[in-house]
Amino acid sequence: MLESSWRQGSRQLRPFRAAAQIGRGCSRRLQRAMTDFGADEAFAPAAAKVQEHHGLKVTAERLRLVCLLHARRLAQAVPKPCTVLRAKGPDWIVTEADGTMVPIVDTSSAPAGADRRRHRTVRWQEARVVVAQALGVAHAHCDATLGDVAEAGARWSRLVGAAGWSVNTRIHVVGDGAPWLAQPAAERCKPQGHYLLDL
């Protein structure tokens, strides 16, 4: 497409891009589609799905850059635990947390200027996944972290707050008995919650 652009000193002005909220060639809606497909599978098939579903041809490299941009933003977001309870909310909130081991590819040992693919190692790290849902509500609130127990507890508390945690809400916590799971559950939900050991 043709687009008018102007110069103001050394600065380029692109009014259409600003009005259409297009940044780096991708609108927010397109970025959302790219990250949805890119999170599900490899970048080349994800780029093919973007073209199939939205009729837009994007390269696998562009899709990778957009996915990494949003992944960095998510990683930098600091979770804040729920500290203020609402006056009214659901009677019950069901919440659960669990851990799973994920492979992490590390290329930090590569010398400067070397092909980092030739210096990669794989290590396993636990990802902690948390979910909270008010009883009778279809929408569940989910989050995950590769961080420590304190960060997982803060994310868990925030999700329970997002599900509607109030002064009268009872919290039903489900878990497999892992120490990292029972500790934040007891600390965050002590007066209103109880823990169900799911064998």
- pTM equals 0.60
Tally the residues of the chain.
199
- pLDDT tens digits, residue range 83-124? 777 888 899 999 998 999 999 988 888 888 888 888 889 999
Please return the burial class of 37, using the count of CB atoms within 10 Å of its CB with bins 0-12, 13-18 and 19+. buried
Lowest-confidence pick of 12-16, 23-27, 158-162: 23-27
C-alpha to C-alpha distance for 51 and 8, rounded to whole angstroms: 36
